[in-house]
Structure formats: C-alpha cells, structure tokens
A and B are shown apart, each in its own frame.
Chain A
Amino acid sequence: MKGKNLLKKNEFYIVIIIAVLACIIQAISGQFFTSNNLVDLLRSMIVPGMMAAGLFMVIVSGNIDVSFPYTAMLCMFAVTKWFSVINYQGPVFLAFLIAGLIGLVLGLLNGVLAAWLKLPTLIITLGTCTIFLGITQGVLQSSVISVLPAPMAKMAATNLFSVVNGETGLGSSMPVSILFLIAIYLIVGFIMKYTMLGRGIYAVGGDPVAAERAGFNVNFIRIFVFTFMGVVGGITGITQVTVSGMCQINFFDGYEMTIIAAVVLGGANIAGGSGTVIGTFLGVLLMKMISNNLILLGIPTNWSKFMTGILIIAGVSMSAYKSVLAKRRVASNILEDGHKEEA
C-alpha cells in the first residue's frame, strides 16, 4: 500500500499538481495561502463538490448524467417558491427533505429510463434535462428570487466561523453547509468501499455482462445511482440557495461540464469501473483552484471556458491513453509468450 504503490496512485499525482499550482499562485499573487482565500476556496467547493460525489457514482457505474444541474435548479425554485407562497416558518430541514424527495423522483425517472431503454444515458438525460428546464422556466416561470423564506434566509446568515485577512482586510465566512459536503463524501465513500452495492457499482461499470453473471442486479444498480444523483441534486439546489442567499436561473450554467471534468480529473474512468471518492474530491479542489484563481493567474475570465475544456481533454486523454497502452502491452505479452512456446 505504501511506498512503491504510492507512485502508482492517481491521487498522488493530483496532490502534487495541486501543491505545485498552489505554490505558483502564491508566488505570482502572494494571495493564495491567506485565511480568507482558503475559506473562500472551500466555500466555493461545497456545491460542485456535493454534485461531483453523486456523479462519481454514476460515472463509476459506466453511465453519465447531464441532467443533475437542472434537477438542482428545479428543486431550488420549486421549494423556495412554494415556501415563499405559504410563508413557511418551520425548521429549514423540511426544505432539504422536500427538495431531496423531488430530486429522488426526477432521478428515479432517469434511472428507470436508463435501465429500461438501454440507450446511451447521455441522450436519455439530455432529454430529461430539457424537460426539467422546461418545467422550471415554463411551468414555474422562474428567473430570480431575491427574498428568501425566513428559515432559509436564517440559514444563509448563519456561519460556522469567519476569518478576516489582517493585511487586506478582506473577510470570508464558512457556511454551515460545509457539513453536508463532508457528510455526502463520507456516505459515498462508505457505500463504494464497504457495501455490496458499492462493489456492484464498480462491477457494472467494469463489465455489465460479467456483473450480471456474477449475480448483481444490474438494473437495480443503474436505477440506484441515478436516484442517488437525483437526491444529491435536490439537496444541492437548496444548499446553493443557503450559500448564496438568493435563487438565480443561471446558477448552474455549464455545471454538467465542469463537474464531469472534475470527476474525470480525479481519476475516475469515464467508461466506468474505476475511480476513488478521494480522487473526486481532489479533482473538484483542483478545478476550483484553477477557476477561482484565473484572474490571479493572469487569464482573462472570457477564456475560462477554454481553460475548462483544455483541462477536461488533458485529463481524459491521459487516462484514455493509459488504457490504450495497457491493452497494447497485454496484446504484445500474449504474442511474446506465444513466440516463446513456439521456440
């Protein structure tokens, strides 16, 4: 596990990249290792981090989901709007519960369609995401909600702790929802590592036919990962509201790309079957470090989309090429063995 194997681990390299990048940003701007920047970084990781944990499971199972930002958006507006209308005053917990339930239904829809139709899940979720978007914009007529219901506003104003940078006077505070982020990573880590279900998710991603023969219920696993993603999406929607203190239709613009990129950067194989939850977390960290510090790095914001693309392509190319090489090695080994036997 230690020493030699460390060099083989994907996470090891991501940590090195993160460390080097941190030093570069620090050297250029002198603003990286400041208390408020680090808190800001963690704060900006909450929402993408939670989504990445859910998507990590979907990707390991060999599927893809592009509808989760829209699930989050729909849940965010549906719950906030409803609570505003009925002037809800109870505990904020209920908001998360309802959003989670709506997300569950939407995720279940994705999962059932994926298990039933057996078509590329990208196309299925692309279809459902336009439905979700249509419901949010058309039926709910949502664009901006600036005044939140009292319990949610209260949560938005509550912080775990605040820090102030002595030199610049800039302050930053840590929202309570960081606990959700930690909780979701613990849950996903536990499921993936210590339960039969988690093993099944890896197995289905590796080879669905083999997994079925080994006795795993492939359809159940497909439905589970999408449903879990839906629940996480719903909860994330409300989390976003409590972090930013308002609802906006463009909160999750382009999130499907960024999150997929983060998970893939974290070492999960996009074709399914491998990846670790720690890697996913590191992937999100790296992603956010770059996008938060683009200006500090001297890259204009207009080129941030371009940078995301480069990152994704670099990340996936590396892992894809590695497996191509591995295949070639296996093929050449077989050939060599054959020659030896002939000799």
Chain B
Amino acid sequence: MGKKKRFDVKSLLNISSNNKKLLGMLLLVVIVLSIATGGSFAGIGQFKLIAYLFPEMGVLALGMMLAMVSGGIDLTVIAVADLAGILSCLFMKAIMPADAAMPVQILVLLVTLLFALAIGAVCGLFTGILIARVGVPAMVATLGASDIILGIAVGITNGSSIKELPPILCRVVNFELFGLIPGTTIVFIICAALVAFLLNMTATGFKIYMIGSNATASEYSGSDNKKILTLTYMISGMLSAVAGLLMCGHFNSARSDFGKSYLTPAILICVLAGVNPNGGVGKVSGIVLAVIILQSLSSGFAMFPSISDYYKNLIWGLVLIGIMIMNVVTAKKGQNK
C-alpha cells in the first residue's frame, strides 16, 4: 500500500485520456453556451447556480457508479433518496424542540443526518443481500426493491409533500462559504473525496474493482464477494440518502416523487464519466467532470425559455445513446490498432 500512495500524487497530475476528453467537452459546453447567451452564462450568478444544483445529481451518480464498478447497477438510488428524505424530515420535525438555539439545531441536523445514513444503509443492505446472497441479478433486484422502497414512501405520505421543515436544513444547504461556494458543493466534495479514498486507497475498493472485472477470479483469489457486494450497495444507499437530504433542503419540503427525474441523468453521468456498465472501470474524477458538464448543459438550456422542459428528456436520451456509441466506436478503434 505504501508504494501505491507515492504513485498517487503522480497519477493526479497524469490525467487519463477519458478525463482529457471530458475537460475538452466541458470547455466546449461553457464556450458555446456563453456565446449563445451573449456572455451571461459565464457570469458569477450562473456559476453559483450550477455549483448549487449539481451535487444532488452528483451524489446520486457516485452511488450509481459504485454499483456499476462492481458490475451491477443500482436503480434504487432515487427511491432511497426519496424515502430517506421523507423519513428524516419526519424525524427532524419530531425531535426538533420549539425555538431551539443554534447549537441545538445543528446537533439535531447531525442526528438527522445519521438517521438518514442509517436508512440508506438498511435499504442498501436489503438490496445487497438480495443480490449477493439470494443471487438475484442486480438489475431486477434493484428494480423490485425500488418499488418496495418507493412504495413505503408513497404509503407513508399518501403522495403528498411534507412541509414546514425546521429551517436549519434549508439554511445549511443554502449556506455559502466565502459567499461563493454553496453548502451543497461542500457536501458533494466530502462525498466524492470519501468515495475516491474508498476506491483508490483501501483494499475494499480494490476488491470492488476486481469483482466488477471478473467475479469468479475475485472469488477464487480469496475475497469474500458476498460481503463486498453487500457493502457496496450499502454505501450506495447511504450516498443516496445524503442526496435525498440535499433535495429536501433545496425544495424545503419532502415528497415521494422528487427523485423521479434523476434516474436517467445519474446513469448518463456514469456512462459519460467512462464507467463501464459491465463493471471494473470507473473513476471519481470522471464523475465530477461529467456531472458538471451535465448541470452546465441543463442550466444552459434553462436560459432559453423557448426550449420546453420536455425536450430535456429527449436531449438526455440522445446524449446517453450518443456517448455509448462513441465509447464503443473508440474502443473498437483501439482494438484494431
């Protein structure tokens, strides 16, 4: 491990070819949108807006990425985000004392965060056991589990939203460090750093990559696939729960269909980031770049009122298919060499 750490400093500077491609794309998106909007896209307000909005999608994509790297997929991310958001909002409302002092409020928020993480972990444990122990293919297991989890969320709330949350959540989410960096971005940076640490610096992370590239070989090399897979989905669940809290803070309420529109973008970000849906390949740095690109595009489109919101779906789908085609074509070219 000691040897590996020394190389990591170098590898930070040594940007992978996929990330170069992404950086180029980001530059292109920013330049094109800035010209198209007459410069207003490049303003500080727009920068803040993008920085404020991208973490919701980004944290979900981090969870999705972990599952994809292990060779599976986690379709429960949005359901877990919704359920964790709803339950922790109910929890926070219940334990928050009336007109509490600031330190107490922050304490309550921290307890709520732990509560949300626990919910995410339990949901992840459930899907993890289904996949690793019972042997259900990840896709169906998470598809079914997301119905159960979302079903609980709908059942509890009757489909209506939970309002009048304690103001602390909203205040933390809307907090701006140095009046520039939004609270959501800080949350995302922490999550991304933790996931990057897990994947690059720990034995568990190495095993996740191994399962993704060849599960049988990994099993015979002595790693406990079942344990690692369960853990992977638990971490993915916890990340989703964090995203759920971010959404609640953003909308200042909780509802069972907040996450609905995030599933395709989350998968799209992973594919764009160069995560191989068949497992084994994927980097956090790619996710960071991909999510910023996607949010820039999304915010850019929002600046043109003539583009209806419905076209967003069309564009997401086209981009997803386009990127997949591009990845496969470049991979085939590489093989021919």
Chain A residues within CB distance 8 Å of chain B: 64, 113, 116-120, 122-124, 126-135, 137-139, 141, 257, 260-261, 264, 270-271, 300, 302-310, 312-313, 316-317, 320-321, 323-324
Contact = CB atoms under 8 A, between A and B. Distances in A.
B296 to A, nearest CB: 19
A309 B149 CA distance: 8
Interface string B303-337: 00000101111111110110011001000000000
B139 interface: yes
B151 A303 contact: yes
A324 B135 CA distance: 7
Contacts of B145: 309, 313
A307 B147 CA distance: 8
A317 B158 CA distance: 28
A270 B139 CA distance: 10
Task: Classify chain B's interface size.
Answer: 35 or more
Contacts of B95: none
Interface in B253-278: 263-264, 267-268, 271, 277-278
A123 B277 contact: yes
Given A120-B139, A130-B314, A324-B134, 11 more contacts: A116-B325, A117-B325, A120-B278, A124-B324, A127-B321, A133-B314, A137-B313, A141-B310, A306-B148, A312-B147, A316-B137
B73 interface: yes
Contact residues of A: prevailing secondary structure: helix
B146 interface: yes
Listed residue (A113, A131, A135, A300) with the most chain B CB atoms within 10 angstroms of its CB: A131
Listed residue (B149, B271, B315, B321) with the most chain A CB atoms within 10 angstroms of its CB: B321
B42 interface: no
Contacts of A313: 130, 136, 141, 144-145, 148
Contact of A308 (B136, B151, B159, B310): B151
A320 B131 CA distance: 10
Contacts of B150: 305, 309
A261 B135 contact: no
Contact of B135 (A138, A303, A304, A321): A321
A95 B287 CA distance: 45
B278 A302 contact: no
B308 A138 contact: yes
Nearest to B264: A130
Listed residue (B139, B145, B308, B311) with the most chain A CB atoms within 10 angstroms of its CB: B139
Listed residue (B134, B140, B310) with the most chain A CB atoms within 10 angstroms of its CB: B140
B143 interface: yes
Given A134-B314, A138-B313, A119 B278 contact: yes
Contacts of A128: 317, 321
